[in-house]
Structure 1
Amino acid sequence: MTAATSTPSPRRAERMTARAWALLLVVCGALFLEGIDIAMLNVAVPVISDDLGVADHDAHWIISAYVLGYAGFMLLGGRVSDLVGRRRVFLGALVVFIGFSVLGGVATAGWILVVARFATGVAAAFLTPAGFSIVTTSFPEGPLRTRALAVYGAVGAAGFTLGTVAGGALTSVGWRWVFFAPVVIGLALLAVAVRPIRADGPRASLVGSFDLAGAVTATGGMVALVLAVVSASEGGLSPGALAGAVLAAALFVAFVVVERRAAAPLVRLGLLREGLLAHAGAVGLLFMGAFFGFQFVLTLYLQELRGWSPLEVGLTFAIMGADLLLAPLLAPRLVQRLGSAVVMTLGVAAGLGSYLLVLRLTDDWAYLDLLPSLLLVAVAFALVYGPLTDAATEGIREDEHGVAGGVVYTAFQFGGALGLALVTAVLVAGDGPPALADHTRALLVPAVATGLALVIGLAASRRQRRLTRPVG
């Protein structure tokens, strides 16, 4: 039994032991790896496309392929980690992630890179829910888990916010380092991951306990839906987008039918009615969609309208990494006082303030003009990411934490894809190359999405108060 899961005296249980910190370092490192991997590409895609001869209208697949693999297989990854063993799935997925990152780094053609990115996304879809459930099952509910999830959330958010800095710097040296840097980090994590993570029990038999039909319909529906969003961002309601949407709807209906009849369903449908999982998933989808859209539009504004280099843009976003310091200091204390849903909602409000401020954008904004919005984004991530994942597992059985993590991180990833698609559609809706007015109009999308997230967060706060209210 690890130090993180033993049950000594109450005072001792409140302290993080060296082995508990080591376990947290490993799973946080994996989440940081996933976040920084996709964020670095946002800066590097133009250079990669030029070098490999990828056409402008196909360049988005370097990112979209990863999103397809990630969002499409996340629920399956969460369920497999619960059945087969979290440690086995975590370590196996990390090996696959490393292997296909190497393939991406040595790719000599665009199609090879796209295949590598898809496979890397699939690996992340197994890695992330396994790591999340390792945290929630290794730390007992209460102050220790709250502290662990605050650190976990801060590191994960830092991967998204600092990835652009690393991407700008590495692209200046050579774009292939954008793929080789995650390989180095992954190998280091693999070397230290074996000891601190608790060994799995006997391997579960998948025969009779694994819902294959549910896995196929859920994964197929998610992939079709993401494909429809990507197609719509390229050509509006094109035949391809409509076909993808219809196929996704049909597969999701089939999924519901399968899950109602399955003896051991992939996702127990009643799970979404328990605790705050549905609220947390909806907030996560809208929050991450708003952030991805905000960062994308600002990147284009700074590079195309202001003429800044990728490195300058990356350094501009670096201040958002302050959430790495803010989250462990603020989130655990606030959660103890107010509850995870309230803290999550306060973070969403900070994000809304950021996106409203940036609507004042003019054609001569400098770093100091952007600074208030970037600082509010850091506060938003510090208060949302960890408390949201904490809220997602509140009231959920421990043996379903992997599925709960899959639901939340599916929402994160699909939210990012949806946010990018929507801001792109708004950005190119005008005549000619996007101008300042087009960028400002596109920035309304993050503001509206965060406003909706705020409404859902308030509803989650009320529900949490009802769930925790003493009876009698």
Structure 2
Amino acid sequence: MTHSFVPPHTAPAPAHASWSPRLWGLLVVLAGNMLIDALEVSVALVALPAIGTDLGAPLATTQWTITGFAVGFGGLMLFGARVVALLGRRRVYLAALLGFAAASLAGALAEDPSLLTATRVVKGFCAALTAPTGLAIITTAFPEGPPRSRALSVYTLFGAAGFTAGLLLSGWLTGFSWRLTFAFPAPAVLILFVLGLRLIPGADEDRAGQPGGRTAQQPLSTARRRYGFASAAAFLVGLLALVQGITSVSAHGWADVRSTGPLALAGVLLTLFVVLERASTQPLVRFEVLRSGAMIRSALGAACLNGSYLGLLFILGHQLQSLAGWSPLRTAAAFLPAAAPLVMTALYSGRIVARFGAPRLIAAGALLPFTGYLLLLRAPWPPAYATGILPTMLLVGAGFVLSFAALNSQAASQLPPAERGAGSGLYQTAVQVGAALSVALVAALLTGFAPPAGAAPAEIAAACRPALALVAVIGGLGLLTALTGLRSRRTGPP
């Protein structure tokens, strides 16, 4: 549930809408790749225990398969938008497909956790290039009206289905080898690349579909080109250092340079990023967007919703497989009640938002997962699935159904049209950074309170409760943020 590029107000188009065979093929490429991008996190979640066993890596190291992808995605999102603007959609999209396939194969063959982490960061960057660009291609390649509405509906459905599909595939493939879960996207992406060579429109076709012959993604003139390499590097390395510092504290303590060093480096680099952006004439970040209260509330709320959810799955995946002896497939099936509801309601999310309003849905969507986290905290170890884990999964799934599209909608609600692209980039960055930091904090707590070998159930429960409590705190922060949105709605101008 880490991708939010699908437009929240899409609905099934009338049956009489028609496409050419070329448009059908283009949609297969774009929606198929969106599906693969969306499943990248869930496949790693289920495979984590097997990865740790095979590579001899502790939990603080294997967590990088989740956080590395999120940092690559969120840390390079703004830079990726600049790359697309300068080089053009077609060129960047096709290059990202090749990079994704190569990283998938390298990750599947990795014998060292560091190499596996590097491939995850690369795949995150590739997803940051293709996910928003695919949506932009749809808005220019498909004629306005029923054809575009139907295309957006398909794109929405595939994006929502990706996380669920990843759980099922990983649960099945990890039973044979965790390496298959990282290898299987490569041939699929290469097929999409071959099709994309013929079907993805070039710059001339993009311009032809826009009023006045220009698009928002048209490459800038050579004289105006500025990629922002220094800012992008400072932000990316700063986030990587922050995650490394967080996970090192549990192993080495606060006084060790292996913990304080990365944390200090992160502070310096993230400060440098802000300084560079403030001084730039062509910044990657438009700080004016942050003046919107709705934008800030949406970004923080989405970061808490996504971060608490992934943190919960990280804990349960570790508990159920490493400590309770569950198989990967059984673990994946246990997570489905939280992931599947969004797939079944994705096409109707716009109607739900229009009917009840975004602030109310966001508040309800934050309350339900928070309640589920508290219920799980009270459950004894080992928690019975029907009375312990399942209610939490159902409440989290309902929370996503209510608030996922509403958060997207609210984020841009107070921004002028010219600022909505910049707002979307910042929103997506916040969602991914929230996921990375939440999982890193959870992994640090699980490592710091790890029970000894042969521990009694009571000791195991005590070891997991600090991490579960953190998930509940993150969910509670999201709820408080949502409640401020309700108050703002009551006291603000009509």
After TM superposition, the structure 1 stretch with the greater mean CA deviation from structure 2, 45-54 or 305-314, is 45-54
Q: Which amino acid aligns with 1:204?
A: L
Equivalent residues of 1:275, 1:396 under 8 A apart: no
- After superposition, residues 343-362 of structure 1 pair within 5 angstroms as 343-362=361-380
After TM superposition, the structure 1 stretch with the greater mean CA deviation from structure 2, 424-433 or 174-183, is 424-433
Q: Does 1:410 align with 2:429?
A: yes
How many Å separate the matches in 1 of 2:450 and 2:224?
Answer: 57
Instruction: Pick the aligned partner of 1:105 from 104, 108, 118.
Output: 108
Q: Does 1:392 align with 2:411?
A: yes
How many Å separate the matches in 1 of 2:24 and 2:480?
Answer: 36
Aligned CA RMSD, in angstroms, stands at 3.7
Over residues 70-113 of structure 1, what are the superposed CA-to-partner deviations in whole Å (9 max), with x where a residue is unaligned?
33322211333344434443332222111211222233544443
Q: Which amino acid aligns with 2:366?
A: V
Give the equivalent residue in structure 2 for 1:33.
36
Give the equivalent residue in structure 2 for 1:382.
401
Q: Does 1:278 align with 2:296?
A: yes
Equivalent residues of 2:67, 2:439 under 8 A apart: no
Instruction: Pick the aligned partner of 1:93 from 91, 96, 107.
Output: 96
Give the equivalent residue in structure 2 for 1:174.
177
Note the C-alpha offset of 1:445.
Answer: 1.6
Over residues 54-85 of structure 1, what are the superposed CA-to-partner deviations in whole Å (9 max), with x where a residue is unaligned?
56664444444434433332221133334443
Instruction: Identify if the C-alpha distance between structure 1 residues 329 and 247 changes in structure 2 by more than 3 Å, giving closer, same or farther.
Output: same
How many Å separate the matches in 2 of 1:343 and 1:23?
Answer: 34
Q: Which amino acid aligns with 2:181?
A: V
How many Å separate the matches in 2 of 1:196 and 1:455?
Answer: 43
Instruction: Identify if the C-alpha distance between structure 1 residues 299 and 379 changes in structure 2 by more than 3 Å, giving closer, same or farther.
Output: same
Equivalent residues of 1:77, 1:127 under 8 A apart: no
1:394 alignment partner, SS class: coil
Note the C-alpha offset of 1:395.
Answer: 4.2
Q: Does 1:208 align with 2:211?
A: no
Equivalent residues of 1:153, 1:385 under 8 A apart: no
How many Å separate the matches in 2 of 1:462 and 1:131?
Answer: 36
Instruction: Identify if the C-alpha distance between structure 1 residues 248 and 138 changes in structure 2 by more than 3 Å, giving closer, same or farther.
Output: farther
Over residues 121-169 of structure 1, what are the superposed CA-to-partner deviations in whole Å (9 max), with x where a residue is unaligned?
2222323343455567789999999998787666445433442332121
Equivalent residues of 2:83, 2:227 under 8 A apart: no
Q: Does 1:460 align with 2:481?
A: no
Could you tell me the TM-score, scaled by structure 2's length? 0.79
Instruction: Pick the aligned partner of 1:221 from 232, 238, 252.
Output: 238
Q: Which amino acid aligns with 1:79?
A: R
How many Å separate the matches in 2 of 1:29 and 1:466?
Answer: 44
Q: Which amino acid aligns with 1:456?
A: T
After TM superposition, the structure 1 stretch with the greater mean CA deviation from structure 2, 408-417 or 190-199, is 190-199
Instruction: Identify if the C-alpha distance between structure 1 residues 373 and 293 changes in structure 2 by more than 3 Å, giving closer, same or farther.
Output: same
Instruction: Identify if the C-alpha distance between structure 1 residues 266 and 186 changes in structure 2 by more than 3 Å, giving closer, same or farther.
Output: same
Give the equivalent residue in structure 1 for 2:215.
none
How many correspondences in the alignment? Answer: 459
How many Å separate the matches in 2 of 1:340 and 1:136?
Answer: 24
How many Å separate the matches in 2 of 1:131 and 1:447?
Answer: 35
Instruction: Identify if the C-alpha distance between structure 1 residues 49 and 214 changes in structure 2 by more than 3 Å, giving closer, same or farther.
Output: closer
How many Å separate the matches in 2 of 1:148 and 1:360?
Answer: 45
Equivalent residues of 1:79, 1:403 under 8 A apart: no
Give the equivalent residue in structure 2 for 1:127.
130
Note the C-alpha offset of 1:379.
Answer: 1.6
After TM superposition, the structure 1 stretch with the greater mean CA deviation from structure 2, 149-158 or 86-95, is 149-158
Over residues 175-220 of structure 1, what are the superposed CA-to-partner deviations in whole Å (9 max), with x where a residue is unaligned?
2211222224423444555647684445323643425243343334
Give the gaps of 5 or more residues in structure 2: 1-12, 208-217, 453-458
Give the equivalent residue in structure 2 for 1:443.
468
Q: Which amino acid aligns with 2:468?
A: L
After TM superposition, the structure 1 stretch with the greater mean CA deviation from structure 2, 362-371 or 164-173, is 362-371
Note the C-alpha offset of 1:47.
Answer: 2.6
Instruction: Identify if the C-alpha distance between structure 1 residues 65 and 129 changes in structure 2 by more than 3 Å, giving closer, same or farther.
Output: same
Instruction: Identify if the C-alpha distance between structure 1 residues 438 and 324 changes in structure 2 by more than 3 Å, giving closer, same or farther.
Output: same
Note the C-alpha offset of 1:22.
Answer: 7.2
Give the equivalent residue in structure 2 for 1:328.
346
- After superposition, residues 1-12 of structure 1 pair within 5 angstroms as none
- After superposition, residues 185-264 of structure 1 pair within 5 angstroms as 185-191=188-194, 193=196, 195=199, 199-201=205-207, 202-205=218-221, 207-210=223-226, 212=228, 213-232=230-249, 234-237=251-254, 238-264=256-282
1:308 alignment partner, SS class: coil
Give the gaps of 5 or more residues in structure 1: 1-11
Instruction: Identify if the C-alpha distance between structure 1 residues 105 and 422 changes in structure 2 by more than 3 Å, giving closer, same or farther.
Output: closer
Instruction: Identify if the C-alpha distance between structure 1 residues 56 and 274 changes in structure 2 by more than 3 Å, giving closer, same or farther.
Output: closer
Instruction: Identify if the C-alpha distance between structure 1 residues 22 and 446 changes in structure 2 by more than 3 Å, giving closer, same or farther.
Output: farther
How many Å separate the matches in 2 of 1:167 and 1:186?
Answer: 17
Over residues 29-50 of structure 1, what are the superposed CA-to-partner deviations in whole Å (9 max), with x where a residue is unaligned?
4343223222212222333344
How many Å separate the matches in 2 of 1:13 and 1:211?
Answer: 42
1:122 alignment partner, SS class: helix
Note the C-alpha offset of 1:435.
Answer: 0.8
1:365 alignment partner, SS class: coil
How many Å separate the matches in 2 of 1:177 and 1:310?
Answer: 13
Instruction: Identify if the C-alpha distance between structure 1 residues 80 and 58 changes in structure 2 by more than 3 Å, giving closer, same or farther.
Output: same
How many Å separate the matches in 1 of 2:491 and 2:85?
Answer: 29
Q: Which amino acid aligns with 2:398?
A: V
Q: Which amino acid aligns with 1:130?
A: T
Note the C-alpha offset of 1:428.
Answer: 4.1
Q: Which amino acid aligns with 2:309?
A: F
